[in-house]
Structure 1
């Protein structure tokens, strides 16, 4: 938290100049004697909070899976309005600065009515209004790459009243999880007619703010995001003037903490980080370290609509070749293994649902039995073929998501060892999660992480994955299909992507594994429709309290059909020093919103100091 003494000097100088000009043109008047007996009230210097992060992430739309990162979560919690927000215990509470009331006003049809705060507005001057509800509903219900779309698909109409300051949302049937909807509203007046409005404006910013802070600048070269107090904010203003989210490489994080170059750090838990923090713990100013599970689960998603993985026996064989524990140990050894399709280890009462014999470690006999039953034959060269054609798969990961690319590399190694040809492609994350086929862009050559070593942070979310240390290099395996980099689009068979780890279990399961809508191509990985599963998901979606027996049956079907394979839940850290703790009382926060959920209340710790770096201009 830093003092900036230069940011308000210019207006004062201009005022002084104007007064001087006035004195030259008006009749001179005798100057009053200086007031020496009146105390001068000190003017507080602007405050700056510096938060260290691993990287900036690929984009900042909190509703897109491709943009998920701690930085996106932090920015959304500080800049975007939500009707309901989780309190310190994670329980959703009405945010009265956005809506003065939200109640069920009809059971037939089931209708929820929102009365919006009349002063609530965007930093552009436009009101936060019904059109923002309509825009979010329309985008969420029919687009791929969204988070928690199932609840929005239950809505049949969104109506405006009171000049847009009242909203009636109509559902097809009673929907008990309606409080989870309409969080992180977006400025419809800027986005609804903009080309690529759902994605493009969020690549390097947030178009407008409806919260206590405003995103002023994204500097990917320096690895910084600057947020400033949103002066048009209608409710209680933030205490701090600015918050900087700054990329801090793992090898410099201990020095930055010790020298107070950063006030707070939010790295992913990795061996090199925890070992460095252990060293600092023995010093004179030991940091406070709190564990904070990330709000997502890393998983592999299979393309079940067509291609070789449309056959469940092939999916079973492929899964039996994979060592999920080894993937986690290679990429994120401090993460927590996940053995369920719906719940995550951070959920209260989490219980693994993987049955006996579920894929976990390599089982060559099970893989051979499944592929043989599907008609494949393993040749003398160890390769699996069907009617003379090699079994080849395309494994895809978003180029901007370094950890996803690391997972894809390890998966490719394991499948290649099992006799399967593999091509790794790394197009942009939004394209990967929305298009049935993508340009086969090869990941930038890198080295495979050594066992027990995680990826080195420091990437800025650009197109090239960050390099990770390793004893040996591993080139991307090739296939007999379109060569990587050839430009011929390819369909991705195995997708590395996150799924959310919060919210009611019914909407989670239906959003992630329910039948795709007309707007979501069935050719996308994870876009499956199983007759035995969808009725269970329909029941869970609208259940106030999910029946454990129905959840268990849905999990059994998912383990049999394998539309995906859960891997692990990343673990974050909240690292602070005693001064920061006294000023912010920072905690991991609710998993949905993270440690920055109450940043508007944070104050400057005593003794903080940083030289001014100059004023930043808004990017948009």
Structure 2
């Protein structure tokens, strides 16, 4: 048995027992943690001379997300990712390249390879730190691992499905502190699993719906911060130091407050007066110049690895053939959509380098492939009613389609309705949603392989119409979290949820891109997840099964790129391009903002727990006015452009 990392700690302390979830006895007084105990560099936290206002960093943002669940396709955003990284524990830490490499020693004492090798094990044993606990004092145990796996493999609209589908069994022992995970085959990207764990004793114990359970203040934290206040409608989100955090390196600042700032002029004035210490905005054009001209403020632009994408629904009776989908994609002016959504006159739509550009029909008036589309039966382009940018992009897509003679309209239901009802039933023809760039082979499989997981439909549609171009709101349908024994300490959980699934049987005619059999039949009875389009194609599945060593995307076979291109499934519309401004009273990882690490998901907030605030009236000015547009060669973890 290979042990990857061991801290040499003796597993002592309070263990989880059957019955009500126990509380971990504090091994260090909460006041010690509040004073920054355990981090010699955090002397500012233990210095009583630091003014209370300097223990709070205020940040202006375009909007506060309507949901903080990081595991949903519909909630992907820079701020959602940031909150998850700062409040939810993960088995491995995410590096600046977006991948997880290093064990999280705060959560785990060790990780042991029980079967197979480190690159692609078949059985892995996680030993949880005996001090690891949620902010309510409940130990973090194996049931939290089980709960996340269960939700990812059964709920609609979730991300990262492929890796969790490879888990065959999860068992726990040693009072829930020892978690044994068995895979159905050697699994290369296993370190990406069990990221942003959730408190199962609350969410599963109270049977909260997975799709909406984090639309309010999250139930508990297992990270350096906890969510103290959260009101998406008012545009406020306050993170506060988690006084029960047991790790060796607490955050350097007591509070991080994110607030919506209505416009760039207001943001510039608030930076000028010190009301906010930083600002992030997707608004482009004159915004960059407006922020940069404020004395003492540094600014940079960066493009995160996330895109707003138009994804066509293969279950739609009008778009079940590749020729019809190609006609729609050819009619959409993606660059125009990018300019209108971002407000940047030079914005262009991003390119998907992993998909070959396969020519479809010539752009023009509606052709024969879309014969079923008419003014009475226009194409239905969906977007989550809570995602303002997705809704705006959907409206612009409709404008371009109508301009080309293709009748279309926008529908804005809830995310639950989209993924658990309208998409699988073929009642919307396409959807606009955010999508992370693929970084691993499993990302491609999550996106394009047949999804045979048992994700039940919500059953809310029944042929009912959906409100057009207005927020449809909640339909009343919810998908409740799976029930189970949340307090079991020594258990085995078989994860085979595919009984009765016959997904591959419906993929007839996959060899011909003009055939209609390679799509909806196999997935019609299942809600959608990371495979938003619902594509189920024999050729694609066969090519995806031949995973390269280590699961790298450095050499995606041309045959796979071409085949996906032939299916005409999606079109990138808008890159997640962010302007960052930092005031002179904000101290980050480097004096030069252009040298700050940028997370591919959390952006400039990748190091937010290391930020501090100074009093510029008394502190020497060590930062010169810098106008940084970061025009150096982009690294693997970021691309900066103008």
TM-score by length of 2: 0.71
- Identify the match of residue 126 of structure 1 among 128, 138, 152: 138
Q: Show the 5 A alignment for 1:193-342.
A: 193-235=205-247, 236-250=249-263, 251-280=265-294, 285-332=295-342, 333=344, 337-340=349-352, 342=354
Q: CA deviation at 1:190?
A: 0.6
Answer with 328-337 or 116-125: which moved more.
328-337
Q: Show the 5 A alignment for 1:417-436.
A: 417-436=403-422
2: CA distance, partners of 1:502 / 1:88 = 15
User: Aligned with 1:262: secondary structure?
Assistant: coil
Which residue of structure 2 lines up, in the alignment, with residue 5 of structure 1? none
1: CA distance, partners of 2:397 / 2:114 = 51
2: CA distance, partners of 1:294 / 1:170 = 34
CA deviation map 1:69-89 (0-9, x unaligned): 222112111111011112356
Which residue of structure 1 lines up, in the alignment, with residue 7 of structure 2? none
Which residue of structure 1 lines up, in the alignment, with residue 28 of structure 2? none
Q: Do the aligned partners of residues 578 and 502 (structure 1) sit closer, same or farther apart at CA in structure 2, a change above 3 Å counting?
A: farther
Pairing 1:397–2:383 present: yes
2: CA distance, partners of 1:123 / 1:571 = 34
Q: CA deviation at 1:100?
A: 2.2
Which residue of structure 2 lines up, in the alignment, with residue 535 of structure 1? 542
Q: CA deviation at 1:537?
A: 1.8
CA deviation map 1:135-168 (0-9, x unaligned): 1111112322111111000111111122111111
Q: Do the aligned partners of residues 425 and 363 (structure 1) sit closer, same or farther apart at CA in structure 2, a change above 3 Å counting?
A: same
Which residue of structure 2 lines up, in the alignment, with residue 554 of structure 1? 560
1: CA distance, partners of 2:377 / 2:220 = 49
- Identify the match of residue 56 of structure 1 among 46, 56, 64: 64
Does the Cα contact within 8 Å between 1:101 and 1:116 map onto a contact in 2?
yes
Which residue of structure 2 lines up, in the alignment, with residue 411 of structure 1? 397
Does the Cα contact within 8 Å between 1:583 and 1:603 map onto a contact in 2?
no
Q: Do the aligned partners of residues 492 and 320 (structure 1) sit closer, same or farther apart at CA in structure 2, a change above 3 Å counting?
A: same
User: Aligned with 2:319: secondary structure?
Assistant: helix
Q: CA deviation at 1:306?
A: 3.6
Q: Do the aligned partners of residues 495 and 583 (structure 1) sit closer, same or farther apart at CA in structure 2, a change above 3 Å counting?
A: closer
Which residue of structure 1 lines up, in the alignment, with residue 467 of structure 2? none
Which residue of structure 1 lines up, in the alignment, with residue 626 of structure 2? none
- Would you say how many aligned residue pairs link Structure 1 and Structure 2? 487
User: Aligned with 1:167: secondary structure?
Assistant: strand
Which residue of structure 2 lines up, in the alignment, with residue 526 of structure 1? 533
Pairing 1:595–2:604 present: yes
User: Aligned with 1:276: secondary structure?
Assistant: helix
Does the Cα contact within 8 Å between 2:91 and 2:104 map onto a contact in 1?
yes
Q: Show the 5 A alignment for 1:94-109.
A: 94-107=103-116
Q: Show the 5 A alignment for 1:575-594.
A: 575-581=581-587, 587-594=596-603
Pairing 1:178–2:190 present: yes
Q: Do the aligned partners of residues 583 and 418 (structure 1) sit closer, same or farther apart at CA in structure 2, a change above 3 Å counting?
A: closer
Which residue of structure 2 lines up, in the alignment, with residue 146 of structure 1? 158
Q: Do the aligned partners of residues 321 and 192 (structure 1) sit closer, same or farther apart at CA in structure 2, a change above 3 Å counting?
A: same
Structure 2 unaligned blocks of 5 or more: 1-46, 458-522, 619-642
Does the Cα contact within 8 Å between 2:157 and 2:415 map onto a contact in 1?
no
TM-score by length of 1: 0.73
2: CA distance, partners of 1:547 / 1:501 = 11
Q: Show the 5 A alignment for 1:450-599.
A: 491-501=427-437, 503-504=439-440, 506-520=441-455, 522-523=523-524, 526-540=533-547, 543-546=549-552, 550-581=556-587, 587-599=596-608
CA deviation map 1:3-38 (0-9, x unaligned): xxxxxxxxxxxxxxxxxxxxxxxxxxxxxxxxxxxx
Q: Do the aligned partners of residues 227 and 94 (structure 1) sit closer, same or farther apart at CA in structure 2, a change above 3 Å counting?
A: same
Does the Cα contact within 8 Å between 1:135 and 1:192 map onto a contact in 2?
yes
Does the Cα contact within 8 Å between 2:280 and 2:578 map onto a contact in 1?
yes
Q: Do the aligned partners of residues 337 and 414 (structure 1) sit closer, same or farther apart at CA in structure 2, a change above 3 Å counting?
A: closer
Q: CA RMSD in A?
A: 2.7
1: CA distance, partners of 2:203 / 2:145 = 13
2: CA distance, partners of 1:575 / 1:314 = 44
Q: CA deviation at 1:341?
A: 6.5
Q: CA deviation at 1:391?
A: 5.7
Q: CA deviation at 1:309?
A: 0.3
1: CA distance, partners of 2:579 / 2:132 = 34
CA deviation map 1:452-481 (0-9, x unaligned): xxxxxxxxxxxxxxxxxxxxxxxxxxxxxx
Q: Do the aligned partners of residues 74 and 125 (structure 1) sit closer, same or farther apart at CA in structure 2, a change above 3 Å counting?
A: same
2: CA distance, partners of 1:408 / 1:208 = 35
Which residue of structure 1 lines up, in the alignment, with residue 83 of structure 2? 75
Q: Do the aligned partners of residues 160 and 559 (structure 1) sit closer, same or farther apart at CA in structure 2, a change above 3 Å counting?
A: same
1: CA distance, partners of 2:608 / 2:216 = 22
User: Aligned with 1:62: secondary structure?
Assistant: coil
Q: CA deviation at 1:512?
A: 1.4
Q: Do the aligned partners of residues 277 and 593 (structure 1) sit closer, same or farther apart at CA in structure 2, a change above 3 Å counting?
A: closer
Pairing 1:606–2:615 present: yes
Q: CA deviation at 1:272?
A: 3.9
Does the Cα contact within 8 Å between 1:322 and 1:415 map onto a contact in 2?
yes
User: Aligned with 2:57: secondary structure?
Assistant: strand
2: CA distance, partners of 1:423 / 1:355 = 27
User: Aligned with 1:299: secondary structure?
Assistant: strand
Does the Cα contact within 8 Å between 1:536 and 1:550 map onto a contact in 2?
no
CA deviation map 1:413-441 (0-9, x unaligned): 12112222222111123332332369xxx
Which residue of structure 2 lines up, in the alignment, with residue 376 of structure 1? 371
Structure 1 unaligned blocks of 5 or more: 1-40, 343-352, 378-383, 439-488, 610-620
User: Aligned with 1:253: secondary structure?
Assistant: helix
User: Aligned with 1:532: secondary structure?
Assistant: helix
1: CA distance, partners of 2:617 / 2:384 = 39
Which residue of structure 2 lines up, in the alignment, with residue 615 of structure 1? none
CA deviation map 1:335-376 (0-9, x unaligned): 66322274xxxxxxxxxx5436368xx721xx65xx33x483
User: Aligned with 2:422: secondary structure?
Assistant: coil
